[in-house]
Structure 1
């Protein structure tokens, strides 16, 4: 694939980069018998893990995967899903993982954007494979193991392909600093999912930064519990463990329970985890927090959503001074600001800096800018813009989105905030109408378009309102066509097959009309104001987030 989305001024003599899969080569050589990955009762040491990745690489190469190819992966967390990441890296190919909660239509769209010819699909999602193949019958489907049996037919399993190629020493393909290795699908600020291009050089910088700013002192004696999908932030976090030769422990199933999480932390003496405030709140409020030894934890890293000050204080009381917050985006790969453990609690035991998401990460620069791109003074509110080596290479094959997202070399996050005189960043809103629920970005336009497919709905506005458990939840306000009869339960039932559960509006209301501006538009602010007038979310709105 030609790297047309990014340019580099690096000399051809210095642009060669380490292939990220070389981390496995190092660990297999230096730490062969130490555990690399644990899932349920299964344990793979570094020598075994590296050998399996080589075997999968060899099998994929035989099926036409080469440097620059894209490898589409749709799966819940599993050993084979994690192995597929490094097989793609080793081949110089591009790993294209998707959110397993996506609906089939979204997956088909992402497959078309990435132009993937090989699709690794977990057996739990056989209907998704049917949808992708209906759109492109030439798609080569390989089954990843899941809880469902292997579907009938002659499509091979990844397990069989690995077994057939064990013993093959597959070399790490030569790559450059700007060689793409991961398409991380994100909607950015609006619209359909876009493929943010992560490269070997960029991710090497990101992981170095993570180890310095988030996980200092990590060694091969450490370990991490995975409680979020490896397809996004958790996958980036686990690369930190791979670099240090530390163990990664997967939850036994997709169903999260605090009891299992604490049992695994105690059993394997795990030192860190990456999560979102929603899950962190569930963990510390569960009675199991007092039944298990979690004293091995040094860093509980949270990101992706607001966390209320009361929840911060409670988590600190239960876990100790281990909380580390970061603010980032997929496009900047979680690499904008950090609020380390020592900045969470002051000498009086109170939350030290309520409302801040921390200071600039090592090597990164934040600028608060106005609509014209002028930098604003401390305390003034504007758009958060960022430069630094952790910024992605751009959106794949999407010049329009790139033009909107970059200005004078700065990446425009779409978030609104201000910086104080000490350099701490405070987010106060978003340039778009996006809201964050349970750590997931929700884009109202996407849901509105789905709802408007219902024959009884003529207008709709979807927005987020504060929620003590999820950070924010979705509200849909609908206007029905004359004479139509529809209630909230019926609309949610109809919508359930078209929108993933985590994107489903929690509240649906039916009004005679939506408030409109003088230009005939429906500003979300006016809808929120009308909701408040009608008594909706009045108490929720009084809950002020401590940090975002």
Structure 2
């Protein structure tokens, strides 16, 4: 059983129910049966090309219907999806191909044709065997929550467990219509896959500007918003009389939610923003469902099945006092955690035992049991939903012929959360 199999069930039971609604001059509705037909066509092309089970297949595509269909096609073929995003610089694509030891790349610019990676790097046979044994579905090279640039491997089984437990908080059903705003190359498992797993409709806007977004949300009767604080800030600044009358849940993730953004959004639309903690290695273990209105900046409480605890410097659990004086590193145990880091090959058990997943973030728990973040990893930058580390930018800058050395740090930004700022030593 895979998440694609679950989507097939919806296609059989409700073939004409909208899976995707694509905004534009001529809006397009893609039913579940049509979606599965397109996914199977992609999968057939990949198999005909010779893509083997567990082959690592990169996807270079823009946001939108094509990305979703090709991504699901890669997973349906038995290959492992490696999302890359829209046309990265050639040097960046080469580095990722080498780090992931990609076998193939599917590019929208080539009509989603499958291209073999020329002279690819390869892992040792025992690593390849261990990778294949996981039934890998998804691999994302990410800044994650640790400074080292690693590939996070998630199996088909872990995806099913992860989306099931995340939906205990999101409560997505076929009646939901989710307005999509985040970058698909970075947000896919407990979002796109989850919505389709539970039969919802994903609304794909043509514009990221507030006025057309609100108009599309109204026309399509959006019930769920899943976006970054950056997007909510844009919407809250809209001065029209457009409302979000059908929305039942507005989730803020990918960056810390500021009080002023939450309050302005609530004043403008009458909805409290529900902050959620999303971690690629873990899923969506914490949501602020109980205290969103009163404490919008809190991360909230662990969803059913998850154990969230604070680790002191001595390795022992921190005893909560109800205030920030009792802070510790946020550690998480639960279902659907990642299966391995790819490079260097590290099975998840070596990371998760004995503490669970150590996030690198410090937090504290208030008297109501709500988790608050006290500080984030020093070198991580979060900009409008994109997460990356200073070191990643420094490596790129230092490839320039006129740059001897570079140092990158984060600077707070009123609209996108943070922006990278570089100090350069010229040659």
Which TM-score band (shorter chain)? 0.7 to 0.9
After superposition, give the CA deviation of every residue in 1:276-325 in whole Å (9 maximum; x if it has no partner): 0011101121234x2x3420111111111122212111101122235221
Aligned to 2:95: 109
Do structure 1's residue 33 and structure 2's residue 11 form an aligned pair? no
Q: Determine if contact 1:56/1:84 at 8 Å carries over to the other structure.
A: yes
For structure 2, which runs of at least 5 residues remain unmatched after alignment?
A: 122-131
Do structure 1's residue 230 and structure 2's residue 184 form an aligned pair? yes
Aligned to 2:285: 336
Kindly state the Cα deviation for residue 192 of structure 1 after the two structures are TM-superposed.
6.0
Q: How does 1:303-342 map to 2 (within 5 A)?
A: 303-333=253-283, 335-340=284-289, 342=290
Aligned to 1:359: 301
Do structure 1's residue 376 and structure 2's residue 330 form an aligned pair? no
Instruction: Pick the aligned partner of 1:244 from 198, 218, 222.
Output: 198
Do structure 1's residue 21 and structure 2's residue 4 form an aligned pair? yes
Q: How does 1:142-541 map to 2 (within 5 A)?
A: 178-189=134-145, 193-214=149-170, 216=171, 218-234=172-188, 236-252=190-206, 255-288=207-240, 290=241, 292-333=242-283, 335-340=284-289, 342-345=290-293, 352-353=294-295, 355-379=297-321, 380-399=326-345, 405-454=351-400, 460-479=406-425
Aligned-partner SS, 1:68: coil
Kindly state the Cα deviation for residue 449 of structure 1 after the two structures are TM-superposed.
3.2
Aligned-partner SS, 1:219: coil
Cα–Cα, structure 1 residues 29 and 430, in superposed 2: closer, same or farther, change >3 Å?
A: same
After superposition, give the CA deviation of every residue in 1:152-197 in whole Å (9 maximum; x if it has no partner): xxxxxxxxxxxxxxxxxxxxxxxx9952111122123455642111
How many Å separate the matches in 2 of 1:74 and 1:454?
24
Kindly state the Cα deviation for residue 364 of structure 1 after the two structures are TM-superposed.
0.9
How many Å separate the matches in 2 of 1:177 and 1:213?
31
Which TM-score applies when normalising by structure 1?
A: 0.68
How many Å separate the matches in 1 of 2:189 and 2:212?
20
Cα–Cα, structure 1 residues 109 and 310, in superposed 2: closer, same or farther, change >3 Å?
A: same
How many Å separate the matches in 1 of 2:355 and 2:292?
33
Aligned to 1:512: none
Q: Determine if contact 2:56/2:103 at 8 Å carries over to the other structure.
A: yes
How many Å separate the matches in 2 of 1:113 and 1:138?
10
Which TM-score applies when normalising by structure 2?
A: 0.86
Aligned-partner SS, 2:276: strand
Aligned-partner SS, 1:306: coil
After superposition, give the CA deviation of every residue in 1:26-77 in whole Å (9 maximum; x if it has no partner): 1121101112212232222111111222222122111112321222101112
Aligned-CA RMSD value: 3.0
Aligned-partner SS, 1:203: helix
Cα–Cα, structure 1 residues 61 and 401, in superposed 2: closer, same or farther, change >3 Å?
A: closer
Q: Which has the higher strand share?
A: 2
Q: Determine if contact 1:110/1:193 at 8 Å carries over to the other structure.
A: no
After superposition, give the CA deviation of every residue in 1:408-463 in whole Å (9 maximum; x if it has no partner): 25211111222234332111213442122222223112223333445665554321
Larger Cα-atom Rg: 1
Cα–Cα, structure 1 residues 371 and 362, in superposed 2: closer, same or farther, change >3 Å?
A: same
Cα–Cα, structure 1 residues 277 and 125, in superposed 2: closer, same or farther, change >3 Å?
A: farther
Kindly state the Cα deviation for residue 201 of structure 1 after the two structures are TM-superposed.
1.8
Cα–Cα, structure 1 residues 191 and 244, in superposed 2: closer, same or farther, change >3 Å?
A: closer
For structure 1, which runs of at least 5 residues remain unmatched after alignment?
A: 1-17, 140-175, 346-351, 482-548
After superposition, give the CA deviation of every residue in 1:490-527 in whole Å (9 maximum; x if it has no partner): xxxxxxxxxxxxxxxxxxxxxxxxxxxxxxxxxxxxxx
Instruction: Pick the aligned partner of 2:70 from 81, 84, 90.
Output: 84
Aligned-partner SS, 1:353: coil
Aligned-partner SS, 2:140: strand
Q: Determine if contact 1:228/1:234 at 8 Å carries over to the other structure.
A: no
Cα–Cα, structure 1 residues 478 and 287, in superposed 2: closer, same or farther, change >3 Å?
A: same
Aligned to 2:129: none
Cα–Cα, structure 1 residues 403 and 430, in superposed 2: closer, same or farther, change >3 Å?
A: farther
Kindly state the Cα deviation for residue 476 of structure 1 after the two structures are TM-superposed.
2.4
